[in-house]
């Protein structure tokens, strides 16, 4: 397993943030999500220090859906980052953390009236409109409340990038945004810019997630700037901003060649500057929305080993006290991870075993054929890079309680989200009056 951030081998026991994971297991029990706060802060600073330009303002928006707690909101605010949200629940959580709502931007392809109202009532930074139908709903709410709202329009730019390759789609079938290849796009833009309750800041795109092919982003920049130019000329309006979305790929296993944030942010900035000069476009502000690349490597999940089993076919299993309830990504889309026996770092990796969860699904496997030190009952297994889309996709399948989330830094640990209890597990469950 690759070590990230402050991970350190102290006499065979893994420490993160200067805290032994053995101590964390004793104090908070397992399974446990551990966030390396220093690494989150370092990632934030890599973005802040390198995604900046002398020609235009920049904004870095953390994509909340990767991982959201009051603690992460506080940390982002400390470094003056912005946040996005895609639901009332995310907006509510961010608001409850006292995060400045004028730095929150609302996404979503099907925002309800309730959600749009919440955006207006909270005075959030901007709403990223996804489709034509939404324009009237938001405008009506603004009209009723006598407010104007800054908006962007999400575009489908025909670049669909995931992991190693990107595809320039000819079908353009994504559910997000309005297509730039459809001539009606100019009517949509006109409708927004003519609406007195809405202030059109610019265009948004997000071409995918866990992208390694940096060319896809560079091409996205060109498409966005050229389209912005075409739209401003066609409609004779000023459109000052673009938002390029997130999706910067991180390391999970040796198969991944992650994007180096520092280098690539500088490259992106250069490409935006050069393209806007070439196209003679004046940009006032450029925004990006990293999620996974801020929190992914900074999070790990700590489990206790239970039983082990060797099947008749010879496959060896190590069972852990969590599984697809706290990390559904392997079952959902064959995501791969690395792991160590965190209390036996100095022992040779003599065992090849499949790490399986305790849920009632054969697909509840976290890592297939993982090289590990020989495990015994109650050993600790740490799976790395579970910070993004781990807790946020967790569930109560088999009525497992969601684990706690703890932040570690400078030899101290702080609880960020409590472990669920049996009481909270059934608090919304009401017996029927009549049967």
Ligand X SMILES: *Cc1c(COP(=O)(O)O)cnc(C)c1O
Q: Which residues bind ligand X (CB under 6 A)?
A: 63, 65-66, 107, 206, 209-210, 245-248, 289-293, 388
Q: Are 14 and 20 in contact (CB under 8 A)?
A: yes
Least distance between ligand X and beta carbon 106 (Å): 10
205 annotated active-site: no
Angle (CA) 332-129-67 rounded to 5° is 40
61/305 with CB nearer ligand X: 61
Q: How far apart are CA 41 and CA 46, in angstroms?
A: 9
Cα-Cα-Cα-Cα torsion 212, 216, 218, 219, nearest 10 degrees, comes to: 170
107/329 with CB nearer ligand X: 107
Least distance between ligand X and beta carbon 244 (Å): 9
Beta-bridge partner residues of 58:
286
Q: What is the 3-state secondary structure (H, E, C) of 372-429?
A: ECCCCCCCEEEEECCCCCCHHHCCCHHHCCCCEEEEEECCEEEEEECCCCHHHHCCCC
Residues belonging to the chain? 435
Least distance between ligand X and beta carbon 37 (Å): 19
Least distance between ligand X and beta carbon 339 (Å): 22
Least distance between ligand X and beta carbon 63 (Å): 3
Q: Which of 73, 119, 205, 360 is catalytic?
A: 360
C-alpha dist (Å) from residue 158 to 13, 216, 235, 281: 48, 11, 22, 21
The residue number whose beta carbon is nearest to ligand X equals 291
60/66 with CB nearer ligand X: 66
Please count the other Cβ atoms lying within 10 Å of the Cβ belonging to residue 7: 23
107/271 with CB nearer ligand X: 107
65/271 with CB nearer ligand X: 65
- Residues designated catalytic: 360
């Amino acid at each position: 397993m690759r070590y990230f951030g402050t991970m350190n081998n102290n006499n065979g026991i893994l420490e993160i943030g200067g805290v032994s994971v053995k101590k964390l297991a004793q104090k908070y029990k397992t399974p446990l999500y551990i966030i390396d706060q220093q690494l989150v802060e370092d990632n934030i600073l890599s973005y802040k220090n390198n995604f900046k330009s002398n020609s235009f303002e920049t904004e870095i928006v953390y994509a909340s859906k990767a991982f959201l707690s009051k603690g992460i909101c506080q940390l982002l605010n400390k470094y003056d980052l912005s946040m996005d949200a895609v639901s009332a629940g995310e907006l509510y959580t961010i608001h409850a953390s006292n995060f400045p709502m004028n730095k929150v931007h609302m996404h979503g392809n099907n925002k309800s009236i309730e959600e749009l109202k919440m955006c207006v009532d909270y005075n959030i930074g901007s709403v990223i409109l996804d489709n034509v139908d939404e324009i009237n709903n938001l405008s009506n709410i603004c009209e009723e409340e006598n407010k104007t709202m800054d908006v962007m329009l999400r575009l489908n730019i025909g670049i669909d990038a995931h992991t190693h390759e990107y595809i320039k789609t000819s079908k353009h079938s994504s559910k997000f945004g309005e297509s730039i290849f459809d001539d009606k796009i100019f009517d949509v833009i006109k409708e927004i810019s003519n609406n007195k309750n809405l202030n059109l800041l610019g265009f948004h795109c997000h071409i995918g997630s866990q992208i390694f092919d940096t060319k896809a982003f560079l091409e996205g920049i060109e498409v966005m700037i050229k389209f912005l130019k075409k739209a401003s000329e066609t409609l004779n309006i000023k459109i000052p901003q673009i938002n390029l979305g997130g999706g910067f790929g991180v390391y999970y296993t040796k198969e991944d060649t992650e994007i180096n944030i520092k280098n690539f942010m500088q490259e992106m900035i250069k490409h935006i500057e050069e393209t806007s000069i070439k196209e003679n476009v004046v940009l006032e502000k450029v925004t990006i929305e990293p999620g996974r690349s801020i929190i992914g490597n900074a999070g790990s999940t700590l489990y206790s080993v239970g039983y082990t089993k060797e099947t008749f076919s010879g496959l060896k299993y190590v069972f852990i006290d969590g599984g697809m309830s706290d990390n559904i990504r392997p079952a959902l889309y064959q995501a791969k991870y690395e792991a160590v026996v965190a209390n036996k770092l100095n022992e040779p990796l003599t065992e090849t075993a499949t790490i399986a969860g305790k849920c009632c699904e054969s697909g509840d496997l976290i890592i297939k054929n993982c090289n590990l030190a020989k495990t015994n009952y109650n050993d600790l297994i740490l799976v790395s890079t579970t910070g993004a889309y781990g807790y946020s996709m967790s569930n109560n399948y088999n009525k497992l309680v969601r684990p706690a989330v703890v932040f570690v830094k400078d030899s101290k640990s702080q609880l960020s989200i409590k472990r669920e209890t049996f009481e909270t597990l059934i608090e919304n469950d009401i017996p029927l009056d009549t049967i």
